[in-house]
Structure 1
Amino acid sequence: MRARHGHRGYRGHGTFSARPPLRSIRYGGQRHSPRTLRTGHGNPAGAERSPGRVSRGRIPRTRGGPQPPGAIRPRTCVVPEDHYRGATAGSSLVPRTARAGDPAPRDPGSVVNRRSVHYDAIVVGGGVVGVSTAYVLAGRGLSVLLLERYAPVHEHGSSHGDSRMIRFDYEENVYVEMAARAYRAWEDLAKRLGRPVFRRTGICNLAPAGSEVLETLETRLRDCELPHERLAGRAFADRFPQLNLPQNSEAIYQPDSAVLFADEVVRSLWDCVLEYGVDALTETEVVSIDPRDDHVEVTASDGRSWSGTRLVLAAGGWTDRWLNALGIDVDLVVTRELLAYFPRAGAVPHEAGAMPNVIDYHTSDPFYCVPQVRVPGVKAGCHRTGRVVKADDPEEVDDTNLASVREFIGRRCPHLSRDPVAVKHCLYTNSADYHFILDCHPDHANVVVAAGFSGHGFKFGPVLGEILAARLFGETPPVDTSLFGLERFSSPSVLKPRTLA
């Protein structure tokens, strides 16, 4: 397939508890209970060996949680030398993940795993999608190499910051199903870590009364049997004093939405893959990916090279150049989206748990708010309004965009200051229809591409890892992925872009 598609004329875009009240949900006419949506149980063959299980002749890795005290964990990962410094008797066996600013290893050759430099799978990109995929693959007992250009949770891409929304208010059924599976997976991660990774907040979608967006969301929530309320006027104001809902407007409130502690979960997933024995190389820029008949060769800018039987490309805003290099003529548009944190200006609480997530459809480009988590302010931005950039372009604050976000805060959040305490950026890697790309290379089935997450992919991290692992081994994915294929770009005229956030 060499479908050329370009769209450069772009307008640049729970508390930790027992089970949340996600009732059994209907998808495609079939009813699934929350238990059937749990991650890690997607193989219909049950306990039988699948193509993605332990390779012949390789000793399976430990697949549970942390090893017991006294267990020896070999140092098999390329990480900064001070990774293990500061350990004392009785300290956690989970090593500290590399942080931005850590020095690179002085002699990577002496630190890399002593076994062969051939791996069952190589994952390029250590953001939430890449590290989630490495986590799933290593859990299958495979030897995995994870390559990250920077340090974990760096601020150059899309997997940083203190918060992301988990939400179910999608027009497409597959995203609702994926969100339900991801919710369970994040809860499982919290149990493994022994600490919360999200906080349940609910979400309010705001729009003019009778608007199509409200009707669409309410229909979808009803079809999926998800709880929701339609609020307006005094009932809304009493319930959510943080927000000013205009007259002749309504809100749909869905209580199961949550705030995910974004950078914390990415660091925790890095810790987990290190426990699984993944060779995780930071500060490693890949300059060559060469698919062969039975393996893929990868080379870094410093001359190091590795081979893998299979490869997952999850390079975020840098993926577009790799698609072209690999002969996949599908354009991705990268935008640098502005977000700002606005501090409280009164006594009304705005922390996660007191304030809901918000998506506001009163304008053609929806605004959003995420309640305060760690940074002392409510996060706000305007979805898909960033400037078109290259991933390596220097950051510049768009004063016009910032002014529009400040105006939004002034009219919608009366108890917040309009002067932000911080202004940040996040890359959106947008496909033409704002749907994901989760597919095999058309000529190399051992190469899988993960791209085009278009500003709404982070929450799905664990499920994306499951899907990519399944695609890598020719298995049936845990959800229907027909919406995410590369073939759809062969007919760009029939692509229908998503209209909701």
Structure 2
Amino acid sequence: MVAPSQRTAESATYAVVGAGLAGSSAAWRLAQQGESVILLERDVPASALGSSHGSARIFRYAYPDPFYVGLVADARRSWDELEAASGKRLITPSGSLDFGSVRDPRGLAGALDAHGVEHELLSREEAGSRWPQLAFDREALDTEVLWHPGAGVIDAEGSVEAMVALAEAAGAAVRTGWEVASIRRAPAGYLVTSATGEAVHAEQVIIAAGGWLPALLAETDVSGAFAIPQLEVMQENAFHFPYRSDADRGETPAGAATSWPTFIYKGERIQVYGLPGGRDAGFDGQKVAEYMGGRRIASAYAQDGIIDPANRVRVTDFVREFTPGLDPAPYAETTCLFTNVPRDDMIIDRAEGITILSPCSGQGAKFAPLFGELVYDLVAGSGIAGERFRATGQSFERTPA
């Protein structure tokens, strides 16, 4: 006998949990293939409580692993498709700089060479003359500086909105204010129940819940063969520092590159990234943050939005020393979530009718429109996502990203 909740539940072939960059991508690609899809979001798409809000994320090719360089190249083609389909520019060109004794610019250049990605290796003196707003000579070690012009700044919120709109146009249903409380086996699939007692019956479920994933997995029927590794949720801090020069202020004109490049610095004392802050803070400064500089929390439910004062001091000290083009007094600050998986890798894996999509560790945004393709390939049975992203066997052994 079918339970009353199942008789009244909405039905779809696929239920996608989470309307951030990953979930909206999955919903778009599945709907694009003519599949029946319901996208379930606890708040609104690109919620400020999640990891996909705002206008400033880095798109870059520079990885020490050639596998990931190739994956970024695949993602760039997907971004081109998304921008053409939506009629919006979602990546603003900026170029990117990589420097610091731990960053290994020459090693990164070798990985870029493997995929023919345009780049230059510069001396610190050459880089300083080209970008005087940054200081490249603050370390004792004489490391080089890597420049690759194909990098850019992703409008994360705009990208989510574009993919959700395309998913709806292709027939997907979108439910906002729909917080998933449990995912249980049911006849011919799964019953997804909300915190208010609503229900959706789906043949398959894709969970792209970001920082809520650890808590949600506890309420999900998953086969014992689906060995989800330990997940680590961090409440990170980001600060916006004003430009010293009026020439760097103001919104980037349509079709133009940003006035500053993005950058990643990894030294012995601190690892920092920076990028033009965009509309997140009035186009008046650079967004700068310490990589993995926040505090560990149990899940997204435990975030409090409180800036860590010690982290503010570390980042401000970095800005004072390494970015002479910025005033070292932040005019805006915020927290955000990183959901980290082992080896700073990603999880795109499936057991029975449950697919876990956790493309996090602070690197997921650049792959956003590609995730849906990888998920579709996985649920359709081709398995192109491959062994690299399987959950089983992953353990926490960090490598530089």
The 5-angstrom pairing of residues 340-489 of structure 1 reads 340-347=239-246, 349=248, 353-374=258-279, 375=281, 376-389=284-297, 390-393=299-302, 394-441=304-351, 444=352, 446-451=353-358, 453-477=360-384, 481-489=386-394
Alignment map for 1:41-440 (pairs within 5 Å):
117-208=10-101, 213-246=104-137, 248-292=142-186, 294-326=188-220, 327=222, 328-347=227-246, 349=248, 353-374=258-279, 375=281, 376-389=284-297, 390-393=299-302, 394-440=304-350
8 Å contact kept, 2:133–2:323: yes
Distance 1:417 1:120 in 2: 53
Mean Cα deviation higher: 130-139 or 188-197 = 188-197
Any idea what SS the aligned residue of 2:344 has? coil
Query: Shift of the alpha carbon at 1:322?
Result: 2.7
Confirm or deny: 8 A CA contact 2:204 2:354 kept in the other structure: yes
Measured after TM superposition, the shift of residue 429 of structure 1 is 0.5
Q: Aligned to 2:162, what secondary structure does the other structure show?
A: helix
Say if 1:191 and 1:377 are closer, same or farther in 2 by CA, change over 3 A: same
The residue type paired with residue 402 of structure 1 is R
Aligned mates of 1:150, 1:416 — CA distance in 2: 35
Equivalent residues of 2:235, 2:337 under 8 A apart: yes
Task: Give 1:427 shift.
Answer: 0.5
Question: Following the alignment from structure 1 to structure 2, what is the Cα–Cα distance between the partners of residues 474 and 173?
Answer: 26
Name the larger-Rg structure.
1
Equivalent residue, structure 1, for 2:399: 498
The TM-score normalised by the length of structure 1 is 0.71
Shift of 1:386: 1.0
**Contact 1:335/1:427 (CA < 8 Å) preserved in 2?**
yes
Q: Secondary structure at the match of 1:499?
A: coil
CA contact (8 A) 2:240 2:288 kept: yes
Q: Distance in 2 between matches of 1:496 and 1:387?
A: 19
Query: In 1, are the aligned partners of 2:120 and 2:147 still within 8 Å (CA)?
Result: yes
Q: How many Å separate the matches in 2 of 1:365 and 1:121?
A: 43
Cα distance in 1 between the residues matched to 2:9 and 2:307: 46
Q: Quickly say closer, same or farther: Cα 1:303–1:324, change in 2 above 3 A.
A: closer
Q: 1:325 is paired with a residue of what secondary structure?
A: coil
- Asked if structure 1 preserves the Cα contact closer than 8 Å seen for 2:82 and 2:369, the reply is no
When structure 1 is superposed on structure 2, of 408-417 and 339-348 the one drifting more is 339-348
Structure 1 residue 292: Cα displacement: 4.1
Evaluate the alpha carbon distance shift between residue 158 and residue 400 of structure 1 in structure 2; reply closer, same or farther with a 3 A threshold.
same
Task: Report the more deviating stretch, 351-360 or 306-315.
Answer: 351-360
Residues 286 and 299, structure 1, Cα contact 8 Å, conserved in 2: yes
State TM-score, norm by structure 2: 0.88
Residue 214 of structure 1 and its aligned partner are, at CA, apart by: 2.3
The residue correspondences of 1:26-41 to structure 2 (distance < 5 A) are none
- Distance 1:461-1:329 versus aligned 2 partners, 3 A rule: closer
CA-based RMSD: 2.0
In 1, the alpha carbon distance for the partners of 2:246 and 2:194 equals 53
Partner Cα separation in structure 2 for residue 329 and residue 153 of structure 1? 25
Q: How many residues align?
A: 375
User: Deviations for 1:421-452, whole angstroms, at most 9, x for unmatched residues?
Assistant: 210111010112211011012xx2x2110125
SS at match of 1:360: strand
CA gap 1:412/1:365 in 2 versus in 1, 3 angstroms: closer
* Structure with the larger helix share: 2
Secondary structure of the corresponding residue to residue 34 of structure 2: coil
Q: Relative to 1, partners in 2 of residues 1:140 and 1:361: Cα closer, same or farther, differing over 3 Å?
A: same
The answer to whether the 8 Å contact 2:261/2:275 transfers is: yes
SS of match in other structure, 2:301: coil
Letter paired with 1:131: S
Corresponding residue of 1:10? none
What's the CA shift string for 1:94-131, capped at 9, x where partnerless? xxxxxxxxxxxxxxxxxxxxx98221110011111001
Q: Which amino acid aligns with 1:397?
A: I
The C-alpha deviation readout for 1:465-489, integer Å capped at 9, x for no partner, is 1111111121232xx5322112213
Please give the alpha-carbon distance, in whole angstroms, between the structure 2 residues aligned to 1:434 and 1:117: 37
1:274 positional shift:
1.9
Q: Which structure 2 residue ranges, 5 or more long, are not aligned?
A: 1-7
CA deviation digits over 1:180-230, x for unaligned, max 9?
Answer: 12212222222223231111111100124xx67223212211222222111
Distance 2:41 2:71 in 1: 26
1:318-339 per-residue CA deviation (whole Å, 9 max, x = no partner) reads 1112333335452211001100
Deviations 1:115-148 (A, max 9, x none): 9822111001111100100000000111110000
Greater strand share, 1 or 2?
A: 2
The residue type equivalent to 1:334 in the other structure is: V
Q: Which residue of 1 aligns with 2:3?
A: none
